[in-house]
Amino acid sequence: DIRMTQSPASLSASLGETVNIECLASEDIYSDLAWYQQKPGKSPQLLIYNANSLQNGVPSRFSGSGSGTQYSLKINSLQSEDVATYFCQQYNNYPLTFGSGTKLEIK
Amino acid sequence: EVQLQQSGPELRRPGSSVKLSCKASGYSITDYLMHWVKHRPEHGLEWIGWIDPEDGETKYAQKFQSKATLTADTSSNTAYMQLSSLTSEDTATYFCARSYGYTYYFDYWGQGVMVTVSS
């Protein structure tokens, strides 16, 4: 199975700041990577697919990058509504696997 | 508007089974794969498998091969997952989620359903 190592596990940042969340795959996943946002009590929402494609309706302050085994999610100009848990998912190989999540809080 | 509406919380005894439903609205389930995902806070998210409701084809993660059975009813636009021989390890929240074609990222998720296995 492809292991997705996500960091950090938690993150506290101020409004307006830029934050980065990383996912490291245990092998090359050829940009078959998605990022999701899950707010408390809600179902996950797709933010990014194919490592860097923004899902329709997602604010442009979210962006994804990376290739090979290393990927990142960047959130510019942090807003209060961005408080959530973020996780990555690889879909290059079975079984599909997920990162362990990053809990983002506002300072 | 696309929605995946899952059935309510379940409490089951060890050794029993449970069948969860995921009713789609706003699109035809035959146009997308339906996946199921398990979430336990201490174990994170685990992909269980998918079903193609158009022809009933399924694909399972190896560890869920004998645990989960995925089916779909196109007449009611609903997907189902049956979990058998329940143990405490099956206590979790289960999500359904759709993906388009054979791109296996999920653009819509159900709200999740809590299954508790306890004697």
Asked whether the beta carbons of residue A49 and residue B105 sit closer than 8 angstroms, the reply is: yes
Give the pLDDT of residue B101. 80
- Region B90-115: what's the mean pLDDT? 95
Tell me whether residues B105 and A43 touch, CB distance under 8 A.
Answer: no
Q: Is the pLDDT reported for residue B9 higher than 80?
A: yes
Q: What are the pLDDT digits (tens) for A92-103?
A: 999 999 999 999
Burial label for B116, CB within 10 Å (0-12, 13-18, 19+), is middle
- Tell which of B5, B106, B114 to mutate to test the A interface (max A CBs under 10 Å): B106
For residues A88 and A24, what is the distance between their CA atoms, to the nearest angstrom?
A: 10
Nearest Cα to Cα of residue B41 among B117, B92, B110, B88: B92
Q: Which of B35, B59, B109 sits opposite A43 (nearest CB)?
A: B109
What is the DSSP secondary structure assignment for residue B77, as one 8-state letter?
Answer: T
Contact indicator for A99, A2 with CB cutoff of 8 Å? no
State yes or no: pLDDT of B102 exceeds 80: no
pLDDT digits (tens, 9 = 90+) for A2-46: 999 999 999 999 999 999 999 999 999 999 999 999 998 899 999
Kindly indicate the confidence band of residue B103, based on its pLDDT and cuts at 50, 70 and 90.
confident
The pLDDT value given to residue B32: 97
Residues 6+ apart with CB under 8 A from B75: none
Q: Which residues of A touch B59 (CB under 8 A)?
A: 94
